[in-house]
């Protein structure tokens, strides 16, 4: 059986090229709460504001990590739906995303992700739903 701590270590070490390029850093990982930061600089649209798509990348990363931690042994999570409401712009510093569960079922999990600026003002609210799927134990290829 793989512990949540082992899963968290694996996820930290394997964030993927997009998250690395965007500067996403996981700072807290537990089944109840996943937190990450992302710099605004380098993730802006032409007017110098944090790109809405960058906020969604941060939200999907957090929700996917949270779902993976809640999937259970022999299971994995895949995103099925994500939405985002952009409340205000951010032009500098770091934004912080916090994912918390809304629903934790056997086959489906949903999370709210609140993204705030360095002054604690909410920049974006996102919701993600992930399907929790059994791993196929049969080797491929």
Using alpha carbons, list the distances in angstroms from residue 127 to 19, 21, 84, 109, 135.
Answer: 19, 23, 7, 11, 25
Check 5, 28, 41, 60 and give the catalytic one: 60
SS3 at position 117: coil
Q: Is 60 a catalytic residue?
A: yes
Q: Taking each helix axis from N to C terminus, what angle separates 4-13 and 52-70, rounded to the nearest 10 degrees?
A: 150
**How many C-beta neighbours within 10 Å does residue 98 have?**
18
Angle at 91 between CA 55 and CA 128, to 5 degrees: 10
Active site residues: 60
């Amino acid at each position: 059986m793989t512990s949540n701590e082992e899963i968290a270590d694996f996820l930290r070490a394997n964030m993927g090229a997009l998250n690395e390029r965007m500067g996403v850093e996981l700072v807290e990982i537990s089944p109840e709460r996943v937190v990450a930061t992302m710099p605004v600089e380098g993730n802006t649209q032409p007017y110098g504001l944090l790109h809405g798509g960058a906020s969604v990348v941060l939200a999907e990363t957090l929700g996917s990590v949270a779902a993976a931690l809640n999937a259970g042994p022999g299971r994995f999570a895949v995103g099925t739906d994500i939405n985002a409401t952009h409340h205000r712009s951010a032009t500098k510093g770091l934004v912080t995303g916090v994912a918390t569960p809304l629903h934790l079922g056997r086959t489906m999990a949903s999370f709210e992700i609140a993204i705030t600026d360095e002054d604690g003002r909410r920049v974006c609210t996102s919701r993600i739903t992930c399907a929790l799927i059994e791993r196929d134990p049969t080797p491929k290829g």
